[in-house]
């Protein structure tokens, strides 16, 4: 399984994801792409946060041990 096949793959789990409290709503932005996004969107440039990588590795090991 690659990172792009992961169930964790979403903007909200990417290290480039930023969330800001706007005057009327939350604003979700991709620092790398430079535009607004949605926490559930998926892009090929996804770079998971360290804690997400650890969860993915742990899940992969559990699958391997079965």
Can you tell me the mean pLDDT for 7-32?
96
Query: According to the model, what pLDDT value does residue 2 have?
Result: 61
* Mean of pLDDT values over 45-65: 91
Nearest to 46 by CA among 20, 8, 21, 65: 8
Q: Phi and psi (nearest 5°) for 60? A: -65, -40
Q: What is the mean pLDDT of residues 10-16?
A: 96
Listed in order, strand segments (DSSP E) in the chain are 17-21, 26-30
With bands split at pLDDT 50, 70 and 90, how would you rate the model's confidence at 23? Answer: very high
Take residue 58 and report the two structure tokens written for it: 């742990």
For the chain, domain boundaries? 3-65
- Distance, in Å, from the CA atom of 38 to the CA atom of 12, rounded to the nearest integer, reads 8
């Amino acid at each position: 399984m690659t990172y792009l096949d992961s169930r964790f793959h979403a903007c909200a789990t990417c290290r480039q994801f930023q969330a800001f409290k706007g005057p009327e709503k939350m604003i979700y932005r991709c620092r790398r792409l430079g535009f607004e996004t949605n926490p559930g969107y998926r892009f090929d440039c996804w770079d998971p946060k360290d804690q997400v990588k650890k969860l993915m590795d742990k899940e992969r090991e559990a699958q391997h041990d079965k």
